[in-house]
Structure 1
């Protein structure tokens, strides 16, 4: 179940990892076989030659920089206290498994815990399960730590926690499954890269950023969460969420609340219990090139302004393809909202003069209600296409701006459009 590590981009590697990795390769001493005991502080590179069972506190404690701890297919097992492996600030430490059989870290409070001052560590190829609080925790871990190619499953709470100002770290290519709390939780931490992780069966949300800005979420797969697949909340600003996918989560594919300046690009969110993408009191974000088909709703904005919603696919939902409530100064351009169970695009809520939304060149065909409904004035409707809908092609209340070029045909209402002029 453990996968080979992907190659991260050269720019990222140069920025955060190259110097630390070279230091590890050059300075790490040769590991030797070691018969260790529970709670032992490790100051030289070692290869475990026996299991550590029923440790009453910590399993192993890192006591020096630049060393390698090779679990060698052994088990480090606790009684629900301490950490399986704890590092209180030593740099360039590698915790790995060279054996062909799983190396297990289990039944502690935390499986692996990197504490303040820790930098340049590698945690890889481990099987971390049945811990109480987290499988892996970075607590104010400085930078350049890489957690990769691990199986992290069945924790009583979170799979991975990155908290307390842990910045510029990498979480890549891990399988994070069946944790009773969230899969990954990032709090008050910036500049981290979460890439290529498989996050499934979480008892809470799959992946959460809370008060965390400037992070990159790339090509992660999230499925079967009891809450949303991905959540950005509480001033999680200026993050990049790109090329992730989700399916069969109990709530939304992606929820952004109380956050600004995020870029949400080329993601696929399907089979959600709520809308594919939800923006709530969130502003100045770019939502481009996403596929949010086959959810309860497609893209949903409430009390959110100055967002660009462009070139998204919001088809085949059971509700509205794209809906805006009390949300102004948004640009909706070149989106598809077809074959939805209700309306293609629905805009509701008052707007002051000059603060309307711009609906430009969207396609809204074959919806079970109207193609486009704009229920309040001062919004601009221009160059949209609305065909084969079960009610109006375009319904615009008085006071909206007809930007011209709207097309409508074969809609159930004989007039095709009201409030704007449509041509076939």
Structure 2
């Protein structure tokens, strides 16, 4: 097959003849109907008119910038090798589906892959399924690529992956279902945005950030994850997670491990197999306005220091509403921790002088254990409300600081409070 690139003289075109150009991708200002062969390098805008089936390697290779590849409801199909649609560095390319029927990219190592140097690409409206490593991957891609409105289903590993230092890209409004590994993962890559994606049935986490800084996860939904719904780990710092939701994850709703400076704002995380939010060796994070009710636990800190835990709902769990284990200098204030199966707020562990946790103006009611329980010393309790708990309203071992203004009534222990003075 003849493929034309660049500009050709009218004399040469006349010599070739119109018959030789049938099914060939020739340069044009607009896309034209095209029959491609497996592995063909495309240098102009095209609209597919036939399927590519059983490709032994790559399906389509991008060979020029500023072109559109319209799959037009066709299928690009492999045998488990290569990449369905591969771009090795061209800018301004759109891969789309202009037809009402699904356009499928399936049975390759990678469904769609944007490699080093790609910028300003759009991948949209595709059905990408049954590929090996990733359905859609941005690998060392550059800036301003957009992946939107795709169905990414049943990859053997990840649905969508951003790897290799890829930064400044948008992953939005995709549906990711039944991928056997992670739903979407950002690995070793900063400054990416994942917004309004719907992720269900992932074998691992629905959303995972690994050594990924300054990202934004906004209004994504996750269901039935085989691990924690959302994970930040391995030094994923200074990310914003806002307005995300999860249900029925096998592990926690949201885990932050070995990561600092993240903002977890107004997320709704329910029916998890572990706590709604877990901070593990995670320092200097802000956890504000989240609803983590109806989990195994509410908010759980383990060896996590200098965090702000503010105005969250940590109620109706089967365990503790808020627990702090071996954690120091956390500011826990104005949270609701009620109707939990154990304690409302539970702090365990000594701290050196001046590094205790601050428990301020929290409300704990109708918990099956104590409202607030603080073992060991140097923590501060001030202005908390504890009513109708089965155990103590507030229990603080000697050595803690009574900041005053704690209130308690209707609790199971007649004295209401121990170690601090409570008024009704």
Same fold by TM-score, threshold 0.5 exceeded?
yes
Q: Deviations for 1:98-141, whole angstroms, at most 9, x for unmatched residues?
A: 00000000000000000000000000000000001110010000
* Count of paired positions: 398
1:158 aligns with 2:197: no
Which residue matches 2:47?
A: 47
For residues 28 and 217 of structure 1, the distance between their equivalents in structure 2, rounded to whole angstroms, comes to 39
Which residue matches 2:384?
A: 384
CA contact (8 A) 1:364 1:385 kept: yes
CA contact (8 A) 1:200 1:224 kept: yes
Q: Deviations for 1:206-251, whole angstroms, at most 9, x for unmatched residues?
A: 1110000000000000110100000000000000000000000000
CA contact (8 A) 1:28 1:67 kept: no
Which residue matches 2:171?
A: 171
- Equivalent residue of 2:208, what SS? strand
Which residue matches 2:330?
A: 330
For residues 242 and 117 of structure 1, the distance between their equivalents in structure 2, rounded to whole angstroms, comes to 30
CA shift for structure 1 position 41: 0.1
Which residue matches 1:311?
A: 311
1:187-202 matched pairs, under 5 angstroms:
187-202=187-202
Which residue matches 2:358?
A: 358
CA contact (8 A) 1:213 1:238 kept: yes
Structure 1 runs, 4 residues or longer, greater than 4 Å off? none
For residues 157 and 193 of structure 1, the distance between their equivalents in structure 2, rounded to whole angstroms, comes to 21
CA shift for structure 1 position 28: 9.0
For residues 322 and 28 of structure 2, the distance between their equivalents in structure 1, rounded to whole angstroms, comes to 55
Which residue matches 2:297?
A: 297
CA contact (8 A) 1:188 1:211 kept: yes
Which residue matches 1:20?
A: none
CA contact (8 A) 1:143 1:166 kept: yes
- Equivalent residue of 2:112, what SS? strand
Larger radius of gyration: 2
Q: Deviations for 1:64-89, whole angstroms, at most 9, x for unmatched residues?
A: 00000000000000000000000000
Which residue matches 1:18?
A: none
For residues 279 and 180 of structure 1, the distance between their equivalents in structure 2, rounded to whole angstroms, comes to 26
Which residue matches 2:252?
A: 252
For residues 349 and 121 of structure 1, the distance between their equivalents in structure 2, rounded to whole angstroms, comes to 52
Q: Deviations for 1:360-413, whole angstroms, at most 9, x for unmatched residues?
A: 000000000000000011100000000000010000000110000000001010
For residues 225 and 168 of structure 2, the distance between their equivalents in structure 1, rounded to whole angstroms, comes to 26
For residues 29 and 261 of structure 1, the distance between their equivalents in structure 2, rounded to whole angstroms, comes to 48
- Equivalent residue of 2:261, what SS? coil
CA shift for structure 1 position 29: 2.8
For residues 247 and 29 of structure 1, the distance between their equivalents in structure 2, rounded to whole angstroms, comes to 48
1:402 aligns with 2:408: no
Which residue matches 2:76?
A: 76
1:148 aligns with 2:148: yes
For residues 68 and 376 of structure 1, the distance between their equivalents in structure 2, rounded to whole angstroms, comes to 65
Which residue matches 1:233?
A: 233
Which residue matches 1:34?
A: 34
1:110 aligns with 2:110: yes
CA contact (8 A) 1:168 1:190 kept: yes
1:180 aligns with 2:176: no
CA shift for structure 1 position 40: 0.1
CA contact (8 A) 1:147 1:170 kept: yes
For residues 118 and 53 of structure 1, the distance between their equivalents in structure 2, rounded to whole angstroms, comes to 27
For residues 144 and 312 of structure 2, the distance between their equivalents in structure 1, rounded to whole angstroms, comes to 35
CA shift for structure 1 position 419: 0.1
RMSD: 0.9
CA contact (8 A) 1:28 1:68 kept: no
- Equivalent residue of 1:364, what SS? strand
For residues 92 and 237 of structure 2, the distance between their equivalents in structure 1, rounded to whole angstroms, comes to 30
For residues 154 and 209 of structure 1, the distance between their equivalents in structure 2, rounded to whole angstroms, comes to 21
Structure 2 gaps, min length 5? 1-26
For residues 29 and 65 of structure 1, the distance between their equivalents in structure 2, rounded to whole angstroms, comes to 13
Which residue matches 1:10?
A: none
1:254-273 matched pairs, under 5 angstroms:
254-273=254-273
CA shift for structure 1 position 185: 1.1
CA contact (8 A) 1:86 1:112 kept: yes
CA shift for structure 1 position 307: 0.4
For residues 350 and 402 of structure 2, the distance between their equivalents in structure 1, rounded to whole angstroms, comes to 17
For residues 281 and 421 of structure 2, the distance between their equivalents in structure 1, rounded to whole angstroms, comes to 33
Which residue matches 1:11?
A: none
